[in-house]
Amino acid sequence: MPRNTRTTSVAESVRIAQAASKPLDPPANVPLTTADESFWNSIIAEKARSEWTGHDLEIAALLARSMRCMVVEESKMEDEGAVLTTVGGNRCQNPRARIIADLNARIMKYRQSLGIHSRGKQGEPRDVKRRRDHAKSLEADLDTTDLLFAKPH
């Protein structure tokens, strides 16, 4: 497997700049609705524009649709309740609970495939902990009266 090119190289900088200018539209073979667009936009923002491949865009579109479906199903279950009463008076779990669980599993797999899950984005847990601890110590040491940092008015 070839090694990744360093992002500091001139050739890679040119490739990234060219990729940044191309539009990242949903693929025609995975049509999205207007309701899917907000999910699509947030998914696309997860990675650099130069990292997206055609196949990644297909998975991102499937992810956006799945996320919208999950919101719809959760909303319906919220209205119906988690437990239903049958015609015979028996109580049972709302079948939407299984649909939601399946959608959730699908969403997690899509995110994993795209590398936008926690470990894919941030690395190994030990490295995440080290970075977070460092960030927390910097935040604790931050002098709020320091005028070198921009502050909202």
pLDDT in tens, the chain (153 residues): 445 555 566 666 666 666 666 788 999 999 999 999 999 999 998 888 878 889 999 999 999 999 999 999 999 999 999 998 888 889 999 999 999 999 999 999 999 998 876 665 566 777 766 766 666 666 666 655 555 555 555
Amino acid, res. 54: G
Instruction: Pick the closest to residue 31 from 1, 75, 68 (CA basis).
Output: 68
pTM score over 0.75: no
